[in-house]
Structure 1
Amino acid sequence: MATRYIRNTAILAKIESTYGTDSTPTEGANALLVSNVSINPLSAANVDRDLVRPYMGASEQLVGPANIELSFDIELSGAGAAGTAAAYGPLLRACGFAETLSASVRAEYNLVTPVADSVSIYYFSDGVKHIAKGCRGTLSLKMSAGGRPVLSFKFLGLDGGVTAASPSALTLTGFKTPAVISEPNTGDLTFGATYTAATPTLTGGTGYPSQGIELDLGNAVNYTPLLGGESVDISQRQVTGKILLDLTAAQEVTFMASVKANTQQSLGLMHGTTAGYKVMIFMPAAQLINPSKSEVNGKLMIGYDIRALPSSGNDELKIVVH
């Protein structure tokens, strides 16, 4: 018997022009550079027949409405040239971001309501090809000191069938090698800054030493098996996160006052030093809650949970590639 390997996996994704209609992604134009992959190829609400007979024993289950669940990680990096769309841009769009390109300056990803975009995903698993259509999802972001900047995606999709197939050679040149989250590569977490799109930069504010940031987009992603119109929809989002800061005693007291006053302030992080390989995370109205204390190599660190709130609407989280 031939051995099959989990690492012999390839994933393609392409924006759909019509929801739920296979957009036929290709290895040359739509391949993804991924890690930490997983698939549930048939997440079904099975129906138990529960038959009564003159003897004990189980009844068969009927396969009910079913969808596909997929998850994978992608490195958060620049596109190689300022103003160029990120290779993972279609995935962000299917999670509720709109992509806006400013030539030679930036690619900006801003939240939208409602979420109209979707992707078709081909998941090759060592000789087997799973097709998921109408995919929408959510993501978490991890930019922790000493690690890679990573986007962790989770998608639901409509079952598009399964066949025995293997991918041809993948083109992955759109994915650039990220810089490690470190002092030379990454700025301080900055509170109270203003986002300047033309540059793009964070202007003003106060920076604090930290261990980075973790965020969860918090999309409510639901599969609805309507007769004649099954779909995957995003019905709500709540962006949350957490940080760990190195604060002086006076700074901790000031932050505690802000927590008690329900203060909202901007929060941003710049990563990268070379044009075309930079990424910015910005929240205009972040609320810190649930203060805690932690020990890191003997140092006292102060932690907070984050609630990223809309300021004028659809702006609670911005990702800028530049």
Structure 2
Amino acid sequence: MAKLVKRELILVKIESSYGVDATPGASDAILVENIGWSFAGARMVERAAVKPSLGMLQGIFAGTLMEVTFDVEVKGSGAAGTAPEVGPLLRACGMAETIDAGTSVEYAPASAGHESVTLYYYEDGSVYKLTGCRGTVSVNLETGAAGKFSFTITGHVSGPTDAAMPTVSYDATTPPPVINASFSVGSYSAVINALSLDLGNTIATPPSMSAEDGYSEIIISDRDVTGSFDPEATTVAAKNWAGEWKAGTAQTITTGTIGSTAGNQYELEISSAWYKELSPGDRDGLRTYEIGFGAAGDDDAFKIIFS
């Protein structure tokens, strides 16, 4: 039976114990785009036996993980102080969730206590079940579009097995467009078209002789937060972009509040950004700069606040 690409979905739920199937259900569905997957770290043992005839013996499958990639809209839950639909995925990417009831939900990097999720990936008539999942994420904001999270999630996989598509319910909140936001670098209100931030997690997949798939716990072992933005060029007196790059000047970057409805607003704050590279750009005949930056700091390098 043929499978339709558009008839796919994922369910995601936080695990109470690492690697133990949290059995996500219909209420754990997350609306995603651009799903892709691969068998990460697949082992196929070659048998290069010496024998009278040429040729190889059949290889031996020796375990694999699975990596799933997808995009998720940046939007609130519809109620201030209630975690957004994407929350479990951000937590599985090594981010701590702080809830201020009735007011806001904040996500920031954490260096310990990383949570994991169970992810069910339905592929029009079959399902892969991933446990012990952790990953990394980037956020991409472009003027006049909806913000997007881009996830890469790695987990221990079973399946596929044949399974009917479940009837699910998604959060009906519509994402706010990226407009009317008071973006600033330091104290300067720069004119930009796009901003990106990459959490840059290193995902370690250590081997384990005793594990069914040959892999131990999936671990977030390092983090390198980077990003980019594209401001219109200015006079040196207004903003000395090149001078700040050469001097290694660290400064805050903030989007300001995106969205105008309580429960569906968010803001990205980077506490200490330093320019890593600077090059010229052209936007509709206007000179711009393409600036790549690093985010200094420990677990306070940045935060995403939903309010």
Partner of 2:220: 234
Q: How does 1:217-228 map to 2 (within 5 A)?
A: 217-228=199-210
Q: CA deviation at 1:251?
A: 5.1
Q: How does 1:1-322 map to 2 (within 5 A)?
A: 2-27=1-26, 29-41=27-39, 43-173=41-171, 176-182=173-179, 186-192=180-186, 205-228=187-210, 230-250=216-236, 254-270=240-256, 271-310=258-297, 313-322=298-307
Counterpart amino acid of residue 9 in structure 2? A
Q: Deviations over 1:12-31 (max 9, x none)?
A: 0100000011000001x210
| Partner secondary structure for residue 208 of structure 1 | coil
- Runs of at least 4 residues of structure 1 off by over 6 A? none
TM-score (ref. length: structure 1) = 0.90
After superposing the two structures, state which structure 1 stretch, 145-154 or 118-127, moved more. Answer: 145-154
Compare the two structures and name the one with the higher strand fraction: 1
Aligned length: 302
Q: Contact between 1:279 and 1:319, CA under 8 Å: does it hold in 2?
A: yes
| Alpha carbons of structure 1 residues 216 and 252: separation in structure 2 relative to 1, 3 Å | farther
Q: Contact between 2:255 and 2:269, CA under 8 Å: does it hold in 1?
A: yes
Q: Contact between 1:108 and 1:321, CA under 8 Å: does it hold in 2?
A: yes
Provide the rounded CA distance (Å) in 2 between the counterparts of 1:261 and 1:190.
Answer: 19
Provide the rounded CA distance (Å) in 2 between the counterparts of 1:107 and 1:240.
Answer: 23
Q: CA deviation at 1:252?
A: 7.0
Q: Contact between 1:108 and 1:319, CA under 8 Å: does it hold in 2?
A: yes
Q: Contact between 2:99 and 2:105, CA under 8 Å: does it hold in 1?
A: yes
Superposition CA RMSD, Å: 1.5
| Alpha carbons of structure 1 residues 303 and 41: separation in structure 2 relative to 1, 3 Å | closer
TM-score (ref. length: structure 2) = 0.94
Provide the rounded CA distance (Å) in 1 between the counterparts of 2:238 and 2:282.
Answer: 15
Counterpart amino acid of residue 184 in structure 2? T
Counterpart amino acid of residue 57 in structure 1? G
Q: Contact between 2:193 and 2:230, CA under 8 Å: does it hold in 1?
A: yes
Q: Deviations over 1:131-171 (max 9, x none)?
A: 11000000111101232200000011012333110232111
Q: Contact between 2:135 and 2:203, CA under 8 Å: does it hold in 1?
A: yes
Q: Which runs of 5+ in 1 are unaligned?
A: 193-204
Q: Which runs of 5+ in 2 are unaligned?
A: none
Counterpart amino acid of residue 308 in structure 1? A
The percent identity for this pair of structures is: 32
